[in-house]
Amino acid sequence: MNRTTRFALAAAMALAAAGSPAPADAVETVELRFATFNASLFGDRPQALAERLKTRTDEQLKLVAATIQAVRPDVLLINEFDYDPSGKAVEDFLFNYLMRSQHGHNAIRYRYQYTGPVNTGLDSGRDLDRDGQTGGPGDAWGFGRFPGQYGMVVLSRYPIDPARVRSFRKFRWADMPGALLPTLADGESWYDERTLRTFPLSSKAHWDIRIWTRAGNIHFLVSHPTPPVFDGDEDRNGRRNHDEIRLWADYVSTDPGRNGYIYDDDGGTGGLGDGELFVIAGDLNADPNDGDSHPGAIQQLLSHPRIQATPTPASSGGEESAHRLGGANLVQNGDPAHDTAVFGGNSGNMRVDYVLPSQGLNVLRSGVFWPMSSEPDAALLDASDHRLVWVDVSAEVLPLRDPLPRRGLGR
């Protein structure tokens, strides 16, 4: 059996697992759970995470895996998972942790995965943060101590065709019309012209990943914009965060004049076609009510006519945490039930992680995995300072014509 045949059989099995044929007079639907989780799986040097993943005893990895097993997403984005070009790190996470019961939760298997290079830790050769030195993490195209730190991974129970993934990692910030490029107090550009000829918009990466389901393609649009902090009055990180979020807002616009400027790493241009289904996911590092985001950053998505921003995922544990920790949480404007991360100090808890389905998908349920302190799974919260966010959607099953990618699966 050749590679293509093996893939076709595996993909057909995954599609069939969504349900059996319905009566001719019934409308059959498929349900899927999409999720995002900033799992804080990053090391302080290259291969540090890969080395931890070779064992089966790392407690943080067990907690991360148990969290995923408890929620059981069909399609999951993991932020802050160091990139390993060999793919071995992802395989070890699957085999050594997810496919083994953790903290009383059943093992889970993801047949399909996608990961790729990111901009974090890639040395620019320039003094981007203007501290008088070059070569530090602040002078990388995305903040990082080594290439691939804070990377991204997508896991799926449904087929992914890696040959059709659109990556926008190399899209230049200056090529966005009306980009919020930072300036000094006198109006001079923070970055010189030579730097802007190379400077990428994406601090990690932006990927459009097609998930093959019985309802057709669902585009999983994933990213991890830079935090809007750790800068000065020029607000270079806040402005970049705003425009990283804007890229998806423009990409899913039905107006070709709004997204015609976008190009991917292979030279393809334009945005997502009208009528295409999608889910935007990631740690977007922007709270709609609190924090230091550039004005209107996340509202570009929450108020987008093509996006279903409600119902807002919520938890009881988030409310409990805000009351228990107090401090900044007591003066915030946002509903603590919607928080997704614990930052402490002067920041408090915030909503920064999102799963946003498109119009055309029926939103069934949603939530933030944040158990109350009295619940058994509360111990899993030590995995990360972020919480896993999930949304259940359904869509009408399409006639089975040619749903399978024509080229083989990647890792």
Quickly list DSSP for 262-313: -B-TTS-B--PPTT-EEEEEEE----SSSSSPPTTTTHHHHT-TTB---SPP
Encode burial over 198-225: b for 16+ CB neighbours within 10 A, e otherwise.
ebbbbbbbbbbbbbbbbbbbbbbbbbbb
26 DSSP assignment = S
Q: Is residue 408 part of a domain?
A: no
Q: Which of 136, 147, 111, 29 is nearest to 410 (CA)?
A: 111
3-state helix/strand/coil string of 95-111: HHHHCCCECCECCCCCC
Q: Is residue 193 part of a domain?
A: yes
Q: Is residue 249 part of a domain?
A: yes
Q: Residues 6 or more apart from 247 whose CB is under 8 A from it?
A: 168, 171, 176, 201, 202, 206, 223, 262
CA distances from 284 to 68, 307, 326 (A): 20, 15, 24
CA distances from 64 to 151, 170, 369, 386 (A): 16, 30, 12, 11
Helices (H), 121-265: 193-196, 236-251, 256-259
Encoding tokens for residue 198? 């190379």
DSSP helix/strand/coil, 338: helix
CA distances from 186 to 75, 85, 141, 193 (A): 47, 43, 25, 17
Give the burial class of 242: count Cβ atoms within 10 A of its Cβ; 0-12 exposed, 13-18 middle, 19 or more buried.
buried
Q: Is residue 402 part of a domain?
A: no
Quickly list DSSP for 111-149: SEEEE---SBT-B-SS-TT-SS--SSGGGBSBS-SSTTT
- Say how many residues make up the chain: 411
Q: Is residue 247 part of a domain?
A: yes
**What is the structure's pLDDT at 404?**
52
Q: Is residue 405 part of a domain?
A: no
Q: Is residue 150 part of a domain?
A: yes
Bridge partners (DSSP) listed for residue 219: 210, 278
Indicate which CATH number applies to the domain containing 257: 3.60.10.10
Strand order of the sheet with strand 75-81?
Answer: 112-115, 152-156, 75-81, 29-41, 389-396, 362-368
Count the domains in the chain.
1
Q: Is residue 86 part of a domain?
A: yes
**What is the structure's pLDDT at 401?**
55
Which DSSP helix (H) or strand (E) runs through 376? none
Place of tokens 């498929």: 30
- Give per-10-residue mean pLDDT for the chain (411 aa): 40 48 70 98 97 98 98 98 97 98 98 97 97 96 98 97 94 98 96 97 98 96 97 96 98 94 97 95 98 96 98 98 95 97 93 98 98 97 98 91 43 33
CA distances from 92 to 38, 56, 71, 95 (A): 18, 9, 20, 5
The range of the structural domain enclosing residue 43 comes to 3-396
Does residue 221 contact residue 279 with C-beta atoms inside 8 Å?
A: yes
